[in-house]
Amino acid sequence: MSAPVTTRFAPSPTGLLHVGNLRTALFNALIARKAGGTFILRLDDTDPARSTEAFADAIREDLRWLGLTWDREERQSARLDRYAEAADRLRAASRLYECFETPSELEVKRRKQLAMGRPPVYDRASLGLSEEEKAEKRAAGNQGYWRFRLDQERIEWEDGILGAITIDAGSVSDPVLIRADGQVLYTLASVVDDIEMGVTSVVRGSDHVTNTATQIQIMQALGGTPPSFAHHSLLTGAGGEALSKRLGTLSLRDLRARGVEPAALLSLMARLGSSQPVELRADLEALAEGFSLEQFGAAPTRFDPEDLFPLTRAHLQAQPWEVVRDRVLALGVPENLGPQFWAVMRDNITVMDDLTPWWALCRDGAAPEVAPEDAEFVAEALALLPPQPWGAGAWAEWTGAVKAATGRKGKGLFLPLRKALTGRGDGPDMAALMPLLQAPPQGL
């Protein structure tokens, strides 16, 4: 029997989640959901200088807001003993070796290699140090750090998105797994976690392809079975430009503040860059149904945040009163008016915040908007307004009376009256809106 499907989303709590992270999180969540498997939230917090509890909380909050709930949470800072044990095993197997080059020494080597037209791969000079030489360096106050010794062979895997991948280990530097101050680096921690947590499928950005090559070897050196890997393309801006610099402004927090609804984000991200059309789906279950990594291509994926707004609009229009009730009441709309207010307004908004001016209009009335040439007509019309409260027939009654008194009809009749009552030229059907108006036009 094959192992139960287990995926993980492994952000470092060193910043806010952005749309690129969301793609990774969503793909992993959908794979687990589709298979009835386990989705782990793993906080990659081995770097105490950059990881904060506030960012960890923000990550959890953003994921909950999206409905991307996880079955299990792990954090790397709680597993340092596991990594130390794995490092000991690698040392015992002569796969981990101590190095002493300083960053500037490494930089000099790198430049020389590049000048000679060679790839800047670490030359393994420290691998040749004798025990005495190492002892001397330590005695001189030089703290060693530790690299994994790659087997110089081709590393191959069948990538769930990119297809067959081959990487020549000789073209990759032996990765540093432990820093001079003893801090275990992500590469080792991730491998140990993936093995010990039974991760069966890793989906992450294509910036991790080289990591995958080294991680496969480290896993094998630790006696683990590598999971299946898939690397999704990175997002670019609408014009094809790299998004990395703008990701700060594309945090989930920002999009949420701009009124984007979770369903819009999830629906777009679950299909963007795939052969399937983007369609609004209400929940993860529905998104998981048609989801398959094979439908995604390797080419960079264009992302335009503006695409989120038509989806948000469509999502809101489909929401029944019960679902939005609390959010509408929070605007101050009284419970008895709520369902009717929502039924009338939901087709006239893109984001929930658009309800605010509409509710202000209903509560306080509007300052009439009157074109100079309509001033007399509007004054005459306002004098004919039926008394409040206005019922379902109020608009027909009023416009009928104004028509009879002035002889105006069609647009010349209706548009100035709409503007006089609402202060604007667009909006919901006036017959439906009028009964929601709690106050007469301002100044009347």
Site residues (CB under 6 A) for ligand GLU?
Answer: 10-12, 44, 186, 190, 204, 208
Q: How far is the CB of 204 from ligand GLU (least distance, A)?
A: 4
Q: How far is the CB of 10 from ligand GLU (least distance, A)?
A: 4
Cβ-based neighbours of 370, under 8 Å, separated by 6 or more: 378, 416, 419, 420
Question: Which of residues 190 and 267 has its CB atom nearest to ligand GLU in the complex?
Answer: 190
Tokens 């300052």 belong to: 367
Question: Which of residues 41 and 284 has its CB atom nearest to ligand GLU in the complex?
Answer: 41
Q: Is 270 helix (H, G, I), strand (E, B) or coil?
A: helix
Q: In angstroms, how far is the first alpha carbon of the chain from the final one?
A: 78
| Angle (CA) 81 84 198, round 5° | 70
Q: How many residues make up the chain in this entry?
A: 444
Phi/psi at 239 (5° precision): -90, 10
What element of type H or E holds 164? strand 163-168
Question: Which of residues 60 and 208 has its CB atom nearest to ligand GLU in the complex?
Answer: 208
Taking the C-alpha atoms of residue 12 and residue 333, their distance in angstroms, rounded to an integer, is: 41
The helix, strand and coil proportions of the chain, stated in percent and rounded to the nearest 5, come to 50, 15, 35
Q: How far is the CB of 23 from ligand GLU (least distance, A)?
A: 12
Q: How far is the CB of 83 from ligand GLU (least distance, A)?
A: 14
Taking the C-alpha atoms of residue 228 and residue 223, their distance in angstroms, rounded to an integer, is: 16
Question: Which of residues 98 and 194 has its CB atom nearest to ligand GLU in the complex?
Answer: 194
Q: How far is the CB of 165 from ligand GLU (least distance, A)?
A: 16
Question: Which of residues 167 and 432 has its CB atom nearest to ligand GLU in the complex?
Answer: 167
Name the residue whose CB lies closest to ligand GLU: 44
Question: Which of residues 44 and 62 has its CB atom nearest to ligand GLU in the complex?
Answer: 44
Q: Is 352 helix (H, G, I), strand (E, B) or coil?
A: helix
Cβ-based neighbours of 356, under 8 Å, separated by 6 or more: 331
Q: How far is the CB of 144 from ligand GLU (least distance, A)?
A: 25
